[in-house]
Amino acid sequence: MTMRAQTNIQIAVNWPLREELTSLILGQSLAAEIRGGHCSSSRALPPATIFIPRPATSRRRCCAVFPKPKRRALTEFVVWGSGTPRREFLYVDDLADAGLHFLRHYSGDSHINIGAGYDLTIAEFAEHIKRCVGFERRVVYDRSRPDGTPGKLLDSSRIQALGWSATTALEEGLRLYYAWFLSNPGSASVVTTSQPIVLDKTRVYVIGDIHGRSDLLDRMVGHISRDLDANPINDCVTVTLGDYMDRGPDSRGVLDRLVRNPFPMDFVALKGNHEALFEMFLADPTVAEHWRRLGGLETLHSYGVPVSNLMMGANYEQAARALEAAVPDEHFKFLVSLKTSIITGKYFLCHAGVRPGVPLERQSVEDLLWIRDEFLQSTADFGRIVVHGHTPSEQPELLPNRINIDTGAFATGRLTCLVLESAEPRFLTTT
């Protein structure tokens, strides 16, 4: 288990016990086999939880993510569980030093634990990291999520008896780790994958890019309600494919509606690239140079932020702070909650598309939100029919491997909803 770095800091502290035990047992067995065959000095060294300055390759087991200090848009940060489980942490340099010490001073057959010799609660660990990265907002503990094992503190007395002990204090290790992270901006470019959620519903209403058209969203809610009255079913859900903001006149109004679920059934919202641009602007106001040409000015205006200076390419920082102050907390919470992909039956739902040749469960978040030509030009079988938006088309595109339902609502007045059920797909539209 490692504390990993991406565009934000991730702490893996809740690795399922069965996997940890499996790796420990396999490591001990492998050491025994090597020792019995070719190398008499092979031993197993089970370590405590390690934090290490290295880019992450997966966030599947991450149970806490702390943002960079600049990311002020977050009003709170959610940690899985109650925060009460206790964990022991060890800096990676100490682990390496312990390994060398072990090789020089131990020749027995039993495994030896390597740990710092003390533990702390997840809540205490969170406070350490808050101080380290300058995160000043509140931490919220989601008690609906599992806590994991109540405590993990190794008995390191045997290696301590050999004259070794950890020398890097937790705060110092975190400081070194964070300094590495800040000095390695390339770590932010590591590919981040996202596991799709699975929906097992008889009928799914899928709505394309809304782009600030709250009026069309209202009309589509009416269409869906009437369709449900005419074709009643209990087992259904509405999915929106992202791009709720920019271009159209009322981005705030769209989010005002979506945070309260205007649909007559359950609702799942996916993330689009324009939501990503919104977050990027708040974290780095210079993004406005790009965002203002993609409909960002309309979003700012909808929240009451003056845009005259931005139109001239000035006062980006001031606009970002004004936007942050104007956006309601419930909007930020909605944006943080957005998913990136869904599997339902033979369909795969995402905002932009998928990269050909990559399994659906290994698609990168960047591709799910941004990809265009490589996906659109592909005739490959993706494993499921991909339902997407992102690229406007005059009419819905129904192809063997994909269905495009972005019909340019902000400009055409035509918002499209795809209805997926056991019969052939059908469409609802605002025109």
Both 176 and 201 in one domain: the answer is: no
Pick from 137, 171, 189: which residue ends a domain? 189
CATH (domain of 106): 3.40.50.720
Looking at residue 134, its pLDDT comes to 81
Both 179 and 219 in one domain: the answer is: no
Looking at residue 183, its pLDDT comes to 66
Pick from 168, 189, 210: which residue ends a domain? 189
Q: Are strands 402-404 and 385-388 parallel, antiparallel or unpaired?
A: parallel
Residue with tokens 């689009």: 272
Both 167 and 285 in one domain: the answer is: no
Looking at residue 144, its pLDDT comes to 66
Three-class secondary structure assignment of the chain: CEEEECCCEEECCCCCHHHHHHHHHHHHHHHHHHHHHCCCCCCCCCECEEEEEEECCCCCCCCEEECCCCCCCCCEEEEECCCCCEECEEEHHHHHHHHHHHHHHCCCCCCCCECCCCCEEHHHHHHHHHHHHCCCCEEEEECCCCCCCCEECCCCHHHHHCCCCCCCCHHHHHHHHHHHHHCCHHHHHCCCECCCEECCCCEEEEECCCCCCHHHHHHHHHHHHHHHHHCCCCCEEEEECCCCCCCCCCHHHHHHHHCCCCCCCEEEEECCHHHHHHHHHHHCHHHHHHHHHHCHHHHHHHCCCCCHHHHCCCCHHHHHHHHHHHCCHHHHHHHHHCECEEEECCEEEECCCCCCCCCHHHCEHHHHHHCCHHHHCCCCCCCCEEEECCCCCCCCEECCCEEECCCCHHHHCCCEEEEECCCCCEEEECC
Rounded to whole angstroms, the Cα distance separating 400 from 221 reads 28
Rounded to whole angstroms, the Cα distance separating 231 from 3 reads 50
Task: Write phi, then psi, for 179 (nearest 5 degrees).
Answer: -60, -40
State pTM to two decimals.
0.60
Rounded to whole angstroms, the Cα distance separating 28 from 8 reads 34
Tell how far CA 87 is from the center of its chain: 24
Q: Are strands 86-87 and 151-152 parallel, antiparallel or unpaired?
A: parallel
Number of domains in the chain: 2
Both 178 and 217 in one domain: the answer is: no
Rounded to whole angstroms, the Cα distance separating 195 from 60 reads 8
Q: Are strands 76-80 and 138-142 parallel, antiparallel or unpaired?
A: parallel
Both 163 and 212 in one domain: the answer is: no
Both 169 and 269 in one domain: the answer is: no
Residue from 85, 200, 96 nearest 150 by CA = 85
Q: Are 291 and 323 in contact, with CB atoms under 8 Å apart?
A: no
Residue from 52, 43, 59 nearest 10 by CA = 59
Encode the chain (431 residues) as per-residue pLDDT tens digits. Answer: 333 333 333 333 333 333 444 444 445 554 555 445 544 445 556 666 665 554 433 333 333 344 444 444 456 777 878 899 999 998 888 888 888 888 888 888 777 888 889 999 999 999 988 888 888 888 888 776 667 678 878 898 988 999 999 999 898 888 887 777 776 655 544 566 778 999 999 999 999 999 999 999 999 999 999 999 999 999 999 999 999 999 999 999 999 999 999 999 999 999 999 999 999 999 888 889 889 999 999 999 999 999 998 888 889 999 999 999 999 999 999 999 999 999 999 999 999 999 999 999 999 998 999 999 999 999 999 999 999 999 999 999 999 999 999 999 999 999 999 999 999 999 999 98
Q: Which residues is 344 bridged to in the sheet?
A: 347
Both 270 and 124 in one domain: the answer is: no
Q: Are strands 151-152 and 120-121 parallel, antiparallel or unpaired?
A: unpaired
Other beta carbons within 10 Å of 228: 18
Both 96 and 223 in one domain: the answer is: no
Both 307 and 174 in one domain: the answer is: no
Looking at residue 104, its pLDDT comes to 87
Rounded to whole angstroms, the Cα distance separating 149 from 204 reads 38
What is the residue range of 400's domain?
A: 197-429
Both 277 and 129 in one domain: the answer is: no
Other beta carbons within 10 Å of 170: 21
CA torsion sign for 251, 255, 261, 265 is positive
Q: Are 354 and 371 in contact, with CB atoms under 8 Å apart?
A: yes
Task: Write phi, then psi, for 41 (nearest 5 degrees).
Answer: -95, 5
Pick from 129, 159, 189: which residue ends a domain? 189
Q: Are 41 and 90 in contact, with CB atoms under 8 Å apart?
A: no
Both 243 and 299 in one domain: the answer is: yes
Starting at the edge strand found earlier in the chain, the sheet holding 64-66 runs 64-66, 9-11, 2-5, 49-55, 89-91
Both 46 and 147 in one domain: the answer is: yes
Looking at residue 12, its pLDDT comes to 33
CATH (domain of 220): 3.60.21.10
